[in-house]
C-alpha cells in the first residue's frame, strides 16, 4: 500500500504531516514487512525547490530529511512524485533521490497530467551520470520507446524533445552552427 501525501510542498509539515506519518509508521509496524506502507511525497503543483537552504515545505532536501529522520519513514519506503509546472520536475526528482527517496516516479517521455511528470529517460541518464556507468541498462530502448509512441500510440513527440525528438540536436545559429560546419 502507498500513502500519497498530496500537495506536500504546500503542506503544514510540522503541524500535520509529521504527526500523520508518525502514526502511519506505527500502524505499519503491525503488519508483515511486505505489507508495510510506502509514502509518496507528491509535489502536486511543482512548487518544490532543490536547495537545502530553502524554507519548508518547499525545500526538497529538508522535506526528505524530515520524513526519514523525524517522520520515521525508512528511505526504502519513500518515493517522490513531481510535476513540471515550473520546469523543475527533473532536478526535483534527482534531488529527492539524492537526499534519500528510494524511488522517483517517472513517465515515458514526460507524458503525464497537466505539465507532465519526470521523464524516465532523463532519470536514466541522471542515474548513469551519478553512478559513472550504465549498470547494464540498455539506453537504446529509449529510442524504441519513442518510436512506439510515434508509430503505435500516435502520440506527438516534440521535434526538439531531448534524446528522441527528430531534431533534438539540430542547431542553426551562432557558435553551434560554426562548430558544426567545422566538424560535423
- Alpha-carbon distance 67 to 70, whole Å? 6
- pLDDT tens column, 98-156: 999 999 999 988 887 777 888 999 999 998 998 899 989 999 999 999 999 999 999 99
Among 9, 42, 7, smallest CA distance to 117 is for 42
H/E run at residue 25: helix 18-28
For position 112, what pLDDT does the model report?
76
- pLDDT tens column, 152-184: 999 999 888 898 988 887 776 666 667 767 776
CA–chain centroid gap for 69, Å, is: 21
Give the total residue count for the chain: 184
Question: Predicted confidence band at 5 (pLDDT cuts at 50, 70, 90)?
Answer: very high
Looking at the DSSP assignment, which residues form a beta bridge with residue 2? 38
Among 127, 108, 122, 34, smallest CA distance to 76 is for 34
Which segments of 33-102 are extended strands (E)? 38-43, 78-82
Q: What is the chain's mean pLDDT, rounded?
A: 92
Block residue for cell numbers 532536501: 61
Mapped onto helix, strand or coil, the DSSP state of residue 164 is coil
Amino acid at each position: 500500500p502507498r500513502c500519497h501525501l498530496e500537495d506536500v510542498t504546500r503542506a503544514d509539515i510540522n503541524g500535520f504531516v509529521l504527526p500523520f506519518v508518525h502514526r502511519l509508521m506505527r500502524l505499519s509496524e503491525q503488519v508483515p514487512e511486505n505489507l508495510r506502507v510506502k509514502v509518496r511525497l507528491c509535489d502536486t503543483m511543482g512548487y518544490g525547490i532543490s536547495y537545502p537552504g530553502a524554507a519548508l515545505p518547499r525545500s526538497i532536501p529538508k522535506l526528505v530529511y524530515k520524513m526519514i529522520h523525524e517522520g520515521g519513514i525508512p528511505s526504502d519506503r519513500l518515493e517522490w512524485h513531481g510535476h513540471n509546472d515550473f520546469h523543475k520536475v527533473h532536478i526535483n526528482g534527482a534531488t529527492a533521490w539524492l537526499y534519500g527517496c528510494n524511488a522517483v516516479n517517472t513517465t515515458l517521455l514526460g507524458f503525464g497530467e497537466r505539465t507532465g511528470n519526470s521523464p524516465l529517460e532523463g532519470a536514466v541518464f541522471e542515474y548513469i551520470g551519478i553512478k559513472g556507468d550504465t549498470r547494464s541498462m540498455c539506453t537504446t530502448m529509449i529510442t524504441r520507446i519513442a518510436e512506439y509512441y510515434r508509430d503505435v500510440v500516435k502520440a506527438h513527440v516534440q521535434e526538439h524533445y531531448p534524446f528522441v525528438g527528430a531534431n533534438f540536436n539540430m542547431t542553426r545559429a551562432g557558435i553551434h552552427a560554426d562548430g558544426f560546419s567545422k566538424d560535423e
